[in-house]
Chains A and B, each alone.
Chain A
Amino acid sequence: MKTKRTNPDFLNGVPELLILNLLARRPRYGYELVQAIRQSTNGTLEFGEGCVYPILHRLEAEGQLDSKRQMVGGRSRVVYRVTVQGKKQLASTTMTWRRIVEAIGHALQGRENGEPALAR
C-alpha cells in the first residue's frame, strides 16, 4: 500500500503554526482541519493525515488548544478550539515566521548586500 510521507524535518513547527491559525478562525474537528490545511496550502504540504492528531493532542496538553466531543453533522466528533494561551502563541510564532520568511527572501533575492562575496 502506497502511503504519504509526513512533513520533512525542515518543516518543524509549521504544522503547529497552521493548526493554530486555522483553529483561531473557527473551531474544527480533525478531518475538517486536515482538509482546511490542504486547501489553504493548495496541497503543497504532503503529510500523513494521521500525523495531525498527535500534534493536536500535544497542543491540547500544552494548553494551547481545548477539545470537546460534540455532535457535528449527525455524528459525535472531537472539536478543537484555540485557547487564550494558544492565541498568544500563534501571534508570537506568526511574527517569528514572518521575520524568517523576510530574511530568507532577502537572502535569496540578493538585496541590500548584493551577492555574497567569496573569500579569496
Chain B
Amino acid sequence: MANRPWLDELERRLASRGLPASYVRRFVDELSDHVQDLTEETMSMEANALSQMGNPEEVATAAVTAYRRRSFLGRHTMATFCVFGLSPIVMLILLVALWAAGSTWGTYEACKAMGINAERSLRNLKRLDSTDSVTPYVLSLLFVVIPSIATAVFYGKLARRLALGRKWIAVSCVVLALVVLPVFCSAKFSDVPGQSSFGVGYCLSTDIVRSYCHSPQLLQFLIPLAIGCWFMWRRADQVRLPSAA
C-alpha cells in the first residue's frame, strides 16, 4: 500500500514526540481507515488521498498539541518543568534548612530544660566522624539515591503521560543530578547518651574534584543521569520500531 510509508513516518514522528503507544496505534488505525475511504470514494490515487491528509509533521504537531491540551500540566509545559523539574532544589534546601533549624532549636531547648549551658556544650562537642566506612554508602543510598531514583522515574513517566519530549527528560534529570551531587550525609553512633548524631547537608566546597569525585557523590550524580538516559533510549527505541516492522 502506498499509504504505508506516510503512516510509518507519522507513527515515527508521534512516537518521537512522546505520545503513548496505545494512542499512536489508535490514531494511525483511524487514519489508515480514512485514507482507504478517501481512496475508494474518490477513486483517486493514494498519493492524492495522502495530500488531502496533510503532511506527517503537520498532523503530528496537531496530535501533540491536542494531546497536551487534555491536561493542565500538558498545556503549561514550562510550569510543569518549574514545578517538577526544579522542585528538588527547593525541596532539598527547605529540608536542610528545616533540619538545621529544628535540630538547633531542639538542642537548645533540651539543654535549657536540663540546666546546661548550651553554648559551652556545643563548643565542647567533638567533630563527629562516621565510625564505619560502609555508613556513607548506606546513608547516601537511603536518603539520596533512592529518592533520586524515584524522582527520575517519576520524571520519565510524567514526560510519557504528558507527551513531553526527550529534551524535557534530559534537562530534568540533569537538574536532579546536579541538585543531589553535593548532598552529604553523616552519622555517628555512640554508646554515650546524647552523643549519637545524624546530619544531612550541602557541601559547597570550591575544590569540586576532590569533594565530589569520590563514591557516594559520584553515585548520586550518575544514577539520575543513567535513569534519564534509559528513558530517552526507550523513547528512541519506540521511534525506531515502526520503520523496522
Contacts and interface: CB of A to CB of B under 8 A. Distances in A.
Interface of A: 1-6, 29-31, 34, 47-51, 53-55, 57-58, 61-62, 75, 77-78
Contacts of B142: none
B66 interface: yes
Given A1-B47, A3-B58, A31 B67 contact: no
- Give the interface size bracket for B toward A: 20 to 34
A32 B127 CA distance: 78
B27 A53 contact: yes
Given A1-B47, A3-B51, A54-B63, A49 B70 contact: no
A29 B53 CA distance: 16
Contacts of B55: 1, 3, 48
A43 to B, nearest CB: 12
Contacts of B63: 53-54, 57
A50 B51 contact: no
Nearest to B27: A53
Nearest to A48: B54
Contacts, number: 84
A6 B38 CA distance: 18
Nearest to A59: B66
Nearest to A73: B37
Contacts of B26: 57
A11 B12 CA distance: 28
Among A2, A3, A31, A50: residue with most chain B CB under 10 A: A50
Contacts of A54: 27, 59, 62-63, 65-67
A31 B39 CA distance: 11
Contacts of A78: 30, 33
Given A6-B54, A61-B70, A48 B33 contact: no
Contacts of B33: 29-31, 75, 77-78
A48 to B, nearest CB: 2
Interface string B42-71: 000001001111110011001101110110
